[in-house]
Structure 1
Amino acid sequence: MQQQKCYVIPGLLNAGLLNGNQPIYIFILNQIQDMKEVSLKMNSYLQTVNAFHPYTWVICNQQTLQLEISEVKQFLNQFCKNIPLQQFQRIDKLIIISDTIQLQQLINVIPSAWSTILTNKIHLVLRLNQLINHNIELTQYQVEFLSRINNTYQEEIPFYGRDISEYPLANTGVPECLEAILQYYDRHDDYLKKQGVFRISGSVQQEQKLIQQFQIRNYSVIDDYDPDVVSTVFKNLLCQLKKPIFPFEMYDILKETQINTSKEKLLEMFQVFFAYMPEVNRKTTKRIAELLFHVADYESENLMGLNNLSIVFAPCFLRPEQTNLSDLQGAKIVVHHFNLLVQNVEFFLQEFRINRNSIPQKVQHLI
């Protein structure tokens, strides 16, 4: 699952899929700078993010500011003009966080077009931490974020979708989050023997909870999670990098090579690319390739030899910048070559002795 951005635009917080498959949207009224923009964005999300599921609204001000009934009334009236009525029929809960508003006041300010839809779905909450009573469990980090935001806030960086260099690095030179996952498998070697390891997806809800902990660099909780959840985060993190670990051009070159290209020629090609890759990319590749090679040792138990592992992980390392039919046709070739890479990763990473000046111009212009 692709993680949704925490903030969409000022005043609209997408809290992610925290309640099963049900999206939760939090409106911070004192942060809204353009009501029309917020309503248009919300309408877009309602049509694209779990479009057929119920969803929850939470309306509040920053935790340090009181929310008044007049603000809620103005917000609802303006929103009514821009959101189709059928979208409101999907609302599961409309939760207002305020210690100054009475429930009857809320019912009275519901626009007439919505009254029959929303009247029995309104809930009044006094404090953010009481959202847990509605199966909405905000982390302490999220509560603090809601308390400290101001009109000049910067958008929260989502966990997925960054460049690999944007993640905090461990002493090994690998991103901390990936190092935590790799060490998890070091500690739990028995998980690698599980049949279909890395092919089964974990719980979406648990994935989101683990991501929230990774966002605040709390990696110690990883042992509390099912291995399928950890592997889901592992694969999604790699697949959704802003730029893949191997440059886009590498995919373009590999898909054009023949599947029977000699091992020596492919090794030379890979070595050229490794020479140009950032250090964090090289070290990450080495650590993960070592894990995959180890997993393949248990093929008789997990049924995941290097070929099957390459089918799963090749798209995590190699992908085109824009997908077309030729990319899909070349995917089998890329998987085959990725398999070769895993088997020979130590060779590729030999001190990177290759001299850039000695690389043929025909290859240089492709990098």
Structure 2
Amino acid sequence: MFNKRLVDFNSDEIPLVVKRTIENLKKRALQSEGLFRVPGSVSEIKELKKKYNNGEDPDLDGYDLNSVASLLKRFLRDLPEPLCTFDLYDIFLASAVINVRESRNMMLKKILGEMPLIHKNLLMELCTFLKEVASFEKYNKMGPDNLSLVFSPNLLRSEDESVSITIEDAPIAKTLMKTFITDYDDLFN
């Protein structure tokens, strides 16, 4: 399940590990301060990763919240083709810097329509969840700014993963991710 291209899954459904981690975090962690910023247990993450790779559906309630959150980020980071695909990387970045919100969102909707369906479905699922996490910012200290900082490197990366390009593009990628969260209703509905 990990390190597998999304288009190689059997359907356009959300991968089980993503479904389960989101369900579990909604149930247990929305008010947990530092959600997604505090790292999980390396041994728990390895154990869970192994179970999912073996086709198991482990009960996540027995694991630390931060390990479950880290597992979700790890799944996204380990995708050989990022959620916002390599071929759309430049156009995603170009649209993120459009200053007029309506124009930017119109361009983003067009790009989202060009994504493989599984990529778009997973991005929608993730952003729905992150929007909900952000609604509990008062408790978890994870508003759109912090969430976009944590998630943008896992969702958008250049095929040429040089450090200089990653650093140079990071602020734009963060802006894009924040737009996905704050303008979710406009972009995905």
Query: Any gaps of 5 or more consecutive residues in structure 2?
Result: none
Larger relative contact order (CA 8 Å, sep ≥ 6): 2
Q: Which runs of 5+ in 1 are unaligned?
A: 1-158, 351-367
> Take 1:258 and 1:184, find their aligned partners in 2: how far apart are those partners?
31
Q: CA deviation at 1:257?
A: 5.6
Q: Distance in 2 between matches of 1:289 and 1:201?
A: 21
1:182 aligns with 2:25: no
Query: Cα 1:168–1:212, aligned 2, differ >3 Å: closer, same or farther?
Result: farther
Q: Following the alignment from structure 2 to structure 1, what is the Cα–Cα distance between the partners of residues 44 and 165? A: 36
Contact (CA 8 Å) 2:48, 2:58: kept in 1 or not? no
1:246-277 Cα distance to aligned partner (Å, 9 max, x none) = 12233323444674621122212211221111
Q: TM-score, normalised by structure 2?
A: 0.89
Partner Cα separation in structure 2 for residue 221 and residue 258 of structure 1: 38
Matching residue of 1:338: 177
Structure 1 partner of 2:3 = 161
> What is the match of residue 160 of structure 2?
322
Contact 1:256–1:330 under 8 Å retained in 2: no
TM-score with structure 1 setting the length: 0.48
Q: Report the secondary structure of 2:82's partner residue.
A: coil
The alignment covers a number of residue pairs equal to: 188
- The structure with the larger Rg is 1
Contact 2:95 2:107 in 1 (8 A): no
Amino acid at match of 1:330: D
Aligned to 2:74: 236
| Mapped pair 1:218 → 2:56 | yes
Aligned to 1:306: 144
Query: What secondary structure does 1:192 align onto?
Result: coil
Give me the identity figure in percent.
23
Q: How far apart are 1:299 and its partner, in Å?
A: 1.1
Query: What is the CA deviation profile of residues 135-167 of structure 1, one whole-angstrom value per residue up to 9, with x for unaligned ones?
Result: xxxxxxxxxxxxxxxxxxxxxxxx432101334
Question: Which residue of 189, 193, 203 corresponds with 2:41?
Answer: 203
Match of 2:31 among 190, 193, 211: 193
**Which has a greater percent of strand?**
1
Contact map agreement 1:314 1:334 (CA 8 A) in 2 = yes
Give the 3 Å change call, closer, same or farther, for CA 305–198 of structure 1 in structure 2.
same
Contact map agreement 2:152 2:174 (CA 8 A) in 1: yes
Matched to 1:161, the amino acid is N
Distance of 1:321 and 1:329 partners within structure 2:
14
Normalized per residue, the structure richer in helix is 2
RMSD value, Cα: 2.0
* In structure 2, C-alpha distance between the alignment counterparts of 1:215 and 1:168, rounded to whole Å: 15
